[in-house]
Amino acid sequence: MTVIECVGNGRARGRAHGEHAREMIHAALARWREGTSAHSREHLTANGLLATVEASVPDLAEEMRGIAEAAAVPLPEVLAYNFMDQQWWIHREHLELGCSVLGQVGEGGVFLAQNMDLPDFMTESQVVLHVSPGHGPDALVLSSAGMIGLTGVNDAGVGVCVNALGMLRHNEVGLPVATVIRGALAQVSRDRAVDFLRRVSHASGQHYAVADARGFHGVECSASKVRDSTLPGSRMVLHTNHPLSNDDIDLVAERELTDEGRIADSKVRMDFLTSHAVSARDGESAQRILADRSAPLCVTPRFGRRTQTFGAVVFEFVTTPPTARFCLGLPDREPWITPSWSEPRTVETR
């Protein structure tokens, strides 16, 4: 397991991340360069994404600067790496939908679970960030070395899981997904997290499942609309990669994803989650569902597709702070670990 302590203001958190994961960051960026085009990487830092981050969540811009400084890598590369979803949708690179979310008020309380599916070149860069800003809640965040976050939960009892919705319209000067996730995790309640999601601009189509001990609130965000997909306090949330409520559709992307079978694949996984949700009574049963390959929820590269399940999470809201379980890799192969919120941690690097 790799757990990185990120303590203090944005620049200090980033420096801690960059210093302790320097070798992993260099290896991750080398694989990313091989797997993506130079044109898209350069464009991501030449448009308005960074200015939006500076205006909306400036401490996260500082965190990315700190990562670049301490890891001794160019800031534009760290920025572009963190703007991953925008590289997918603006430049149509690795246009392969993935990620499955399942949450329920079960016998033992509320849980929220997710498989995070990403391009296979990101494998071996998995980390857990323990974010301690000092002026807000701590968070445990699944991430890739060099990235500020993919999905997570905070010690105030708010969890956030995500699904890319490539059919929805995008905005080249919106707020990138990683910064939206971390911005939501900086909030002290589910209602405030959803309010944050409603008031920021969004660079790409995304579903955010926000959970606490009371239940769930799911919202689908596009360039110009935020729509509820799961009503506040619902006892269940299920989502894959096609919109359930937001009609702000990018017709070109919809046609492309449909022709390539991505939407059909998303609906197969959604049907599987729907039929198996009744058996998901607690976090452990959710782990078994996430490890299933028949839908497939647990993804390995297939012919013409480079997506792989990067990791998985299960957050249980029985206590405050919640219990956070992470699998750093394929959930049918790799062990699940449960980092502590308060005990001293040993930082490891691979």
Hey, what domains does the chain have and what are their CATH numbers? 94-337 (3.60.60.10)
Q: How far is CA 94 from CA 23, 35, 84, 86, 307, in A?
A: 25, 9, 10, 11, 8
Burial label, 13 (beta-carbon count in 10 A; 0-12, 13-18, 19+): buried
- Summarised one tens digit per residue, pLDDT across range 254-301 is 898 898 888 999 999 999 999 998 888 899 999 999 999 988 899 888
343: left (phi over 0), alpha (psi -120 to 50) or beta: beta
Is the predicted pLDDT of residue 94 greater than 80, yes or no? no
Burial label, 46 (beta-carbon count in 10 A; 0-12, 13-18, 19+): exposed
344 vs 13, higher pLDDT: 13
Count of H-run helices and E-run strands, the chain:
12, 14
Is the predicted pLDDT of residue 243 greater than 90, yes or no? yes
The residue assigned the tokens 């800031």 is: 75
Asked if residues 328 and 336 have their Cβ atoms less than 8 Å apart, the reply is no
Q: Shortest CA distance to 121 belongs to which of 148, 101, 145? A: 145
Burial label, 212 (beta-carbon count in 10 A; 0-12, 13-18, 19+): buried
